[in-house]
Structure 1
Amino acid sequence: MKTTAPTICHGTEVNERTQCAHYHSEHDIIAIKFKCCSAFYACIECHREAADHDPMVWPKSEFNQEAIYCGSCRGTLSITEYLSCQNTCPMCHAEFNPGCANHYHLYFEQ
């Protein structure tokens, strides 16, 4: 995990914390780099609306990739770090939405 400069996060009505028109609770503060295009989107619905291709899931063999962006501290986490962080950013301790686990299959190989 590392802290980065602000990352461009694509999507519909995305704010500086990566909240979008689809997911905007105080805990919806991550963006995901999509395997298919190496671009960060606030959610899969944002990707579906803006990208001209189908999304791809990250294979387990690439879970070491920094593909999660915290909209609170602007740090990046590997997929492994994100999946094991228990919905709390290990850098700034912001709480992530635990409901995102219901959508992991859309982003990460199961």
Structure 2
Amino acid sequence: MVDKEGRCTHYSSLVDIIANKCYLCKKYYACYQCHDEQELHHFEAWPVATEPDAKVVLCGACQLEMTVSDYQKKAQCLNCGRLFNSNCSKHSDIYFS
């Protein structure tokens, strides 16, 4: 279950508002666990080195799509200013390769 800003049952704090795009299915999910529960394949990290300009991060508050570089520049959305969870950087290897 995902709320209107993209929070799921796995990550549900006020700042857990981003979704990441899976490289295989090209769909946004609140987290890799939500993806793996709904798809027949495991979440595959986006290859940033070969596709650095791809928009693969989504702000749940305003729906702005961002590149990984845009997302990692600040701890908040470049459009609406909503804060992102700084602990997400601990999982970046799951979402970006």
Shorter-chain TM-score above 0.5: yes
Pair 1:14 & 2:5 matched: no
Question: Could you say which residue in structure 1 is the equivalent of 2:56?
Answer: 67
- Choose between structure 1 and 2: higher strand proportion: 1
State TM-score, norm by structure 1.
0.83
Q: Which runs of 4+ in 1 moved over 6 A?
A: none
Figure out how many residues of one structure are paired with residues of the other and give that number.
96
Pair 1:82 & 2:85 matched: no
Deviations 1:57-77 (A, max 9, x none): 111221211111101111111
Question: How far off is 1:89 after superposition?
Answer: 0.6
> Aligned-pair RMSD on alpha carbons?
0.9
Identity, in percent, stands at 34
Among 28, 33, 46, the residue aligned to 1:58 = 46
Match for 1:41: what amino acid? Y
State TM-score, norm by structure 2.
0.93
Question: Could you say which residue in structure 2 is the equivalent of 1:105?
Answer: 93
Match for 1:74: what amino acid? Q
Q: Distance in 2 between matches of 1:81 and 1:19?
A: 21
Q: Which structure 1 segments of 5+ residues have no match?
A: 1-12
More displaced 10-residue stretch of structure 1: 18-27 or 48-57 = 48-57
